[in-house]
Structure 1
Amino acid sequence: MLTEEGQVLSCGSNSFGQLGVLHGLRRCVVPQVIELLREKIVCIAAGLRHALAATVSGIVFQWGTGLASSGRRLCPGQSLPLFLTAKEPSRVTGMENCKAVRVLAGSDHSASLTDAGELYVWGSNKHGQLATQAAFLPVPQRIEAHCFQNEKVTTVWSGWTHLVAQTGENAAENLGLVRVIGTKDFYW
């Protein structure tokens, strides 16, 4: 839960550290403040076994070990970044020169939209939702602009195994290009 003051509270199962609380509880029925997120948070997202937050300054944090098992299996011998294995909020590396305005999570993938209209993705690509040939992306990778007919992405949504991206300057009046990225790609 995201409060008006920009604090994040979490409750539920914590089997994979997806609550981001320090206590190491297996589950929590009373919402707990995630203390390690000290800067104001503007957007949060929850996947199956991981969660994300974007700060007012555009930094992305991730916690929960849900993506780590897929990463170890699909990238054998490769060390995984800390944010994929952390049970507390850990800064997502690879987006240092970007300002995130939105974060998203699917069952086994993550995404972030920047203020420049760029879409970054990481995690499992089992259903083609990351628009790459790689089976798993351990760090954020920008989806190339040509995938969106060289237009900026104005908003994005995540489903369990897919992403929906919309382009266009005035989304309320003109949908622009809407692309579903996943098992099959659709355009409108």
Structure 2
Amino acid sequence: FKVSQVACGFEHIVILIETGCLYTCGSSSRGQLGHGELNEEDHPRLLKYLDGIRVINISAGGWHSSAITECNDLYMWGWNHSGQLGISNSPGIKCISDEFSFSQILIDKNFNCKRKNNSFLF
């Protein structure tokens, strides 16, 4: 497959391929791989939760990850210790785009910066 984007966290990698499928590998100590388990993945593994949904943008922070779909829905998962996911602390991948459509997200260790149209939301 042909890689279109790569995002790296402290201990994990998120890989977007040109078909819009998402793969993750590395440590999942805080759920940052999105597979629903805390096992380490030595090789890229398809993120089945988003299989069939075309992803157009990805980002990775310290121990969390995100994906924006072609419908501009934002999905977030992983460590939420500082509330950086903007969602409850329940584990798993969550769509947080109920009220907004996102075109870009930038992630750091403890925060996210989300872009809607030409404005940034913090």
Fold in common (TM above 0.5) = yes
Structure-2 separation of matches of 1:85 and 1:141: 21
What TM-score results when the alignment is normalised by the length of structure 2?
0.86
Give the 4+ runs in structure 1 shifted more than 2 A. none
Cα RMSD for the two superposed structures: 1.8
Structure 1 residue 164 corresponds to structure 2 residue 113 = yes
Deviations 1:1-25 (A, max 9, x none): xxxxxxxxxxxxxxxxxxxxxxxxx
Retained in 2: the 8 A contact 1:42–1:101?
Answer: no
Q: Structure 1: any 5+ residue segments left out of the alignment?
A: 1-38, 72-78, 169-174, 181-188
Q: What is aligned with 2:80?
A: 125
User: Counterpart of 1:129 in structure 2: which amino acid?
Assistant: Q
- Percent of pairs with identical residues: 19
Task: List aligned pairs for 1:33-72, cutoff 5 A.
Answer: 39-65=1-27, 67-68=28-29, 70-71=30-31
| Bigger RCO (CA 8 Å, 6+ sep) | 2
What TM-score results when the alignment is normalised by the length of structure 1?
0.58
Structure-2 separation of matches of 1:143 and 1:111: 10
Structure 1 residue 80 corresponds to structure 2 residue 29 = no
2:44 is aligned, of 72, 82, 89, to: 89
Q: Shift of the alpha carbon at 1:115?
A: 1.2
Structure-1 separation of matches of 2:84 and 2:111: 5
Larger helix share, 1 or 2: 1
Deviations 1:153-177 (A, max 9, x none): 1111111221111112xxxxxx23x
How many correspondences in the alignment?
A: 118
Larger Rg: 1
Structure-2 separation of matches of 1:162 and 1:51: 18
Q: Structure 2: any 5+ residue segments left out of the alignment?
A: none
